[in-house]
Amino acid sequence: MKKIQISPSILSADFSQLGNEIKKLEEAGADMIHVDVMDGHFVPNLTIGPPVIKALRKRCSIKFDVHLMISPVHKYIDAYADAGADIITIHPEATDNLEESILKIKSLNKKVGVSLNPESQIDLISNYLKEIDLVLIMSVNPGFGGQKFMPEVLDKVKKLKKIQSEKNINFDIEIDGGINFDNCQSAIDAGANILVSGTTIFKSNNGDIEKNINLLKLK
């Protein structure tokens, strides 16, 4: 079984203190930082772009797990790689040529993630599973933090885990959306090894980030 990793979403952080917030996450034992990039077009919200990521990159040394919810995504890959992303995750629906976008990310020496929205099926990416490092399963409809977890997506996680085993393919399974202390065990049991969480990490237990990260890891 892969080590369980926590990727806190800075969508729930204090945006006026982002530099300090990611430093706190690093010190509290976060494995990586999840950065949600939204364009107001592919998803109904606007967040941050390359200049902010570049500025934050100077404040901590752990990996930046950058989730691009933008369309068309291909032409922006270079900018996010240059800004300091370590993992670049894209949606198959946001590119005209998924294989080309995967190869582009790999050519920049970044890890490749592909994300599936709740209604998106594994068939969209099944031909590329050997080429990618991470599959991100959305357990809410992307766009806003603090939404309720959709348990039905766990079947998709289980199917991915089965494919991994049957075809001997090694990729991380990440889950994002409404992850909290009540459902993290179910997500891990289904096969997820990276949990993205925002509200739970920043707001639970009076904002005790280290405690919340460890609770999500089931420590």
- What mean pLDDT do residues 192-198 have? 97
pLDDT of residue 1: 75
Q: How many independent structural domains does the chain possess?
A: 1
Q: Give the residue numbers spanning the domain of 113.
A: 5-216
pTM of the model: 0.96
Q: Of 218 and 208, which is predicted with more confidence?
A: 208
* Percent of all residues in the chain with a pLDDT value above 70, rounded to a whole number: 99
When pLDDT is cut at 50, 70 and 90, the band that residue 44 belongs to is confident
- Residues 81/101, Cβ–Cβ less than 8 Å: no
Q: Please state, in angstroms and rounded to a whole number, the distance separating the CA atoms of residues 165 and 161.
A: 6
pLDDT at 131 over 80: yes
**Residues annotated as catalytic (active site), given as ranges:** 36, 176
- At residue 121, the pLDDT reads 95
Confidence grade of residue 190 (pLDDT, cut at 50, 70, 90): very high
pLDDT for residue 142: 81
Mean model confidence pLDDT for the chain: 95
155: domain CATH number is 3.20.20.70
Mean pLDDT of 74-88: 98
Predicted local confidence at residue 152, as pLDDT = 97
